[in-house]
A and B are shown apart, each in its own frame.
Chain A
Amino acid sequence: MARLTRRSVLRGSAALGATALGTTQILGFPHVAKAAATTASVWFPQGFVQDEDVALRKAVGDYEKASGNKIELSITPFAPERQKIIAALTSGVVPDMMINNPAEILQIYGWQDRWVDVSDVVETQKALFSETALVSAQAYNNVTKKRGMYGVPLRAAVVPCHIWRPLVEKAGLKIEDIPKTWDAYFDFFKKVQDNLRKQGERKVYGLGFQVTANGVDPYNLFMAFLVAYGGQNIVTRDGKLHLDDPKVKQAAIKATAYIGGAYRDGYVPPSAINWNDADDNNAFHAKLMVMDVDGTLSTEVAVKEKYPEQYFKDMVTHGVPGYPNDNQGKPVPSIVGITQGMVPKGAKNVAVAKEFLRYFIQPKVIGEFVELGLGRWLPVMPSLAKSPFWQDPKDPHLRGYVQQGLLGPTIPDYYVFNLAMAEVRNQHVFSLAMIDVAKEGVKPEPAVDKAFKRIEEIFAKYKA
């Protein structure tokens, strides 16, 4: 046995350290493995139903066959992926392509000049994308002091209404009886609840409003009401905030009053105040409430395979038609969230990542991707809405959903115009106003005043 000396130990330790470092690089950091010019690492969030992941794997597999390149695909559940992405961007150890999860991450890190410009990729299909998708792909870069195209639109989502037909009918009413204007539409479900209570239904609520300060649902709900009440210009396309606009303030007060009031008056499940994004889906499936206002068709596609009767007969999706008009009878534009593919600066193989995205956004590929995922997500090209899948007369949900989110009047989310709105959303400023009214007995006006004060503070941080 060789004699152990101090030098040999130190040399051995250094060698051991180097080996360990090499091993961790190989095992833990994909960017080393993709040193070959034909490999790119791609991060996607896991689908709500397995079909979404199958659709993604197929698209990736088809690309690999077509190009000869290799994609190291990482599919992670929604919430951990969000953390993984933020950790990656903070540490600088980034993949070659990722998805904007959370959605506003495109704008947050675009502000910090952390994305590779992908306008050349988008350009290949630019004429086919919806205007909302293209606008949502942009972000203000606070380093270059101009807006850039940092996202490649891949799929979209909108917020329709989901209704249990059997509960409406049990209350002695019909789906066809549901009014077409905003307040009357939601008041209808209060009547459904009242009728059901008279029949001894102890735990069924009319409205599945997410009066909570968790997740993205409460913001989506509030913004749908704000837009319906005329507050669409809270932030204009130039990024300016308009809290001093009386129409915006009035709309915010009405939205806060209606949602908070519905909770206070007992038309919303009490536990809604502590829901996360999945809880309203679960509560809806448990028939705790008659209707839910929730993004995507996740509620419906979750039961399609196991309970086809629920999908085809019992559940009603109110996209367009069905989604209520404003109180004057005019259509209400829907806020559309766009999933974007992005290439972070520091990516080792930008060329393959861009080539993969160019392949992915070909109409045939991107169209098949959303269709194989059961249509939970919408396509981002209006021409794709005409496919037999989306126009299937036997499917009770898809046509209305695609009409609402792709063909009807749509607007991008407000953080696209000003990044500060992302923080307003994530700090749940409007949720707190709704909860103040719902639970703390605060009047809508002071609740909105408090919210507006906080919004102004947040916007002050994002002066370009």
Chain B
Amino acid sequence: MNGTSAVEVSRFALRRRALSRSFRGGLKGGEYTWALAFVVPYVAVFLAFVAYPVVYGLWMGSDASLYRELFADPIYQSSVVNTALYLALGVNVKMFLALLLSGFFMRPGWWMKVLLLIFVLPWAVPQISTFISIHWMLNGEWGFLNNVLYKLFHVEGPHWLNDRWTALGAVIVSHIWKWTPFWTLILLAGRMAIPLEIRDTARVDGATGLRGFVHITFPLLANLYLICTLLSTIFLLGDFNAVTFVSGGGPANQTHVLATLGIRDAFEIANPRLGVAAVMSALPMVIPLVIILMRKLRTAEVQV
């Protein structure tokens, strides 16, 4: 072995060590082992309960003929329209209300805290029982709402769940009622995190009321608002409770969304692969949302 090759060997060893250190994230010896001990269970759980179901789902919905069958189903098209409406109205109305209400709950006073406590109740109570209650309240013959209308005004109320649009409206309103408190709390936390000095300085400069909101509060909340909206959209795409328990997908299967259509195809039609295909058909919408969300989370600094 000559001198040059000895240098090369030691360079190679150094490079290997650097690579290894980089692979270990700068951790040494026992630290690395402990890190591994903490990571392995997570990886195992991730593989078993996230990766496997996703891959299995993709495999189940991978046959092109399933999509031909799905698109031939007359209910599929109306389900896509319903899903779009559910997302557009459900998410945006809810988030806008949450934005306004978060400002309202910033007001000082002990009664505001009591009001906030009452306000969050719809979110705190179990959703299935509340959606079933709403279903019963809206029953055309003996439901609470129509009975009140009749008792007070001698008016026969409409059969709320017998018409596609009123039934879908009931589903959307139920969702908004249920989840607005949650997102209000998130945005309220965001508002509370805006440093007092910024608000005071703005106030001195004359940015109060609407101007303060437009020029100070909203720009600082914008990122949080966008991330909440994206998250809510992703959650809502997979939600089937409101539809299942408020309208039942009826009348005549006219208020199904993709999530409930998937359940129907899987278990009522007894074709699980078709059910998976119904849900998979939402992927072209979900994947861009997830990518945007990830980019937002990675690149944007928390502004609040």
Contact = CB atoms under 8 A, between A and B. Distances in A.
Interface of A: 3-6, 9-10, 12-13, 16-17, 82-83, 86-87, 90, 102, 104-105, 108, 203, 212-214, 269-271, 273-274, 276, 286, 288, 422-423, 426-428, 431-432, 435, 439, 454, 457, 461
B127 interface: no
B141 A269 contact: yes
A182 B266 CA distance: 37
B272 interface: yes
Given A9-B33, A83-B267, 6 more contacts: A4-B37, A9-B40, A13-B40, A105-B270, A203-B142, A276-B248
A288 B143 CA distance: 13
A48 B89 CA distance: 40
Interface in B143-173: 159, 161-162, 167
A226 to B, nearest CB: 19
Interface in B4-23: none
Contacts of A83: 266-267
A13 B167 CA distance: 52
Interface in B255-304: 266-270, 272
Contacts of A203: 141-142
Contacts of B269: 423, 426-427
A423 B32 CA distance: 57
Nearest to A4: B33
Contact of A270 (B141, B249, B250): B141
B139 interface: yes
Q: Is the interface of A mostly helix, strand, loop or mixed?
A: helix
B97 to A, nearest CB: 28
Contacts of B73: 427
B141 A5 contact: no
Majority SS at the chain B contact face? helix
Contacts of A9: 33, 36-37, 40
15 contacts: A10-B40, A12-B37, A13-B44, A16-B41, A86-B272, A87-B272, A90-B272, A102-B270, A269-B141, A271-B141, A271-B161, A273-B250, A274-B247, A426-B269, A432-B252
Interface string B41-52: 100100000000
Contacts of A432: 252-253
Question: Across chains A and B, which 10 residue pairs bring their CB atoms closest together, nearest first?
Answer: A274-B250, A13-B40, A435-B252, A270-B159, A273-B251, A90-B272, A213-B252, A83-B267, A9-B37, A426-B269
A454 B74 contact: yes
Contacts of B125: none
A276 B73 CA distance: 21
Contacts of B141: 203, 269-271, 288
A439 B162 contact: yes
A82 B159 CA distance: 31
Contacts of A427: 73, 269
Nearest to B44: A17
B167 to A, nearest CB: 8
A220 B264 CA distance: 19
A37 B116 CA distance: 61
Contacts of B44: 13, 17
A108 B270 contact: yes
B33 A86 contact: no
A461 B266 CA distance: 17
Nearest to A14: B40
A431 B32 contact: no
Contacts of B139: 271
A144 B48 CA distance: 36
A271 B159 contact: yes
B212 interface: no
